[in-house]
Amino acid sequence: MTITAAHLGSSKAWTDAQLLYALEEVVEKELNRHLKVAKDWMPHEYVPFSDGRNFPGVFEDGEAWASDQSKVTDIGKIALVVNLLTEDNLPSYHHEIASLFGRDGAWGTWVHRWTAEEGRHGIVMRDYLLTSRAVDPDKLEQFRMAHMAEGFESDNRHSMLHSVAYVAFQELATRVSHRNTGHQSGDPVCDRMLARIATDENLHMVFYRNLLGAAFELAPDLTMQAVRDVVVNFRMPGHGMPGFERAAAQMAIGEIYNMRIHHDDVIQPVLRYLKVLDIDGLGPEGLKAQDELGLYMGGLDDEAAKFDEKLAARKARMAARAGA
């Protein structure tokens, strides 16, 4: 099945301001839909406060942190820190999208609502980590300070359309990372908490994905180029945090987020839902971007297959050692 893109004048004629205005009705529709299906929840209800105890400091009875005080798995601890530090940069994310999307009308209402919902994620994750003693609280705070002191600048801050394309994929990537972290955490309480967060992230993805679909109807060539650029150059928002590369490698081996997951569970579902590679009626630049996107996805699948082979070989070696 093919989709014929509706050209409303030349794609090159669209400016960010014009697209923002043209998409306002879609934003309002998606905002109303989101508010109907999103359920408020209380972060404190997901935290086992009765398991908590004082740390040393102002409390004389404080108990020093030790790595064996939590039931969370090693890979779960690594992923939880990465996920929390990513959520911690919410003030920078809010600044980025508020600057691009504005603070008025439906766009502004969405920006503030999204920020309020995302704020719960950092609250509940930090409370859980400290209460369960899953990570060293001093190091966690040091990491937070270092990460936030660096600030955050989006790779896509130059373009509203690129930013919409990016968050359509990034929200799904975050959902997948949270959900897989919960599965690998070894703690049912952690799993329930991250499942709740993942539900929010999925709803955010749906909002941006549908908005991206509307952008394809308005400016198909420009939107195709934006999707191509975002997919080819995709980076998670936490890429600048201390030790991110090593943590990302461990998360890849631990099957929380890796190349195969990125291809199968993040990029492909959005492209497939919007039928991006089937859109017809594009101009020369749109066709070029579509072809390049298809080639890139084929290469990404090949790289993911190589990673799969290496991961399977590693598992076989570990199993052989355990059985020796």
Annotated binding-site members: 87, 118, 121, 171, 201, 204
Cβ contacts of 204 within 8 Å, gap of 6 or more: 114, 117, 118, 167, 171
Positions at the binding site for Fe cation: 87, 118, 121, 171, 201, 204
Alpha-carbon distance 151 to 120, whole Å? 21
293 in Cβ contact with 227 (< 8 Å): yes
∠ CA 31-228-170, nearest 5°, is: 45
Cβ contacts of 257 within 8 Å, gap of 6 or more: 79, 173, 176, 177, 180, 236, 248, 251
Alpha-carbon distance 6 to 20, whole Å? 18
Residue 122 tokens, joined:
């950092």
For the chain, how many residues are written?
A: 324
Identify the sign of the CA torsion 121, 103, 109, 205. Answer: negative
Alpha-carbon distance 302 to 314, whole Å? 19
Exposed, middle or buried by CB within 10 Å (0-12, 13-18, 19+), for 216?
A: buried
Exposed, middle or buried by CB within 10 Å (0-12, 13-18, 19+), for 61?
A: exposed
Identify the sign of the CA torsion 8, 9, 12, 17. Answer: negative
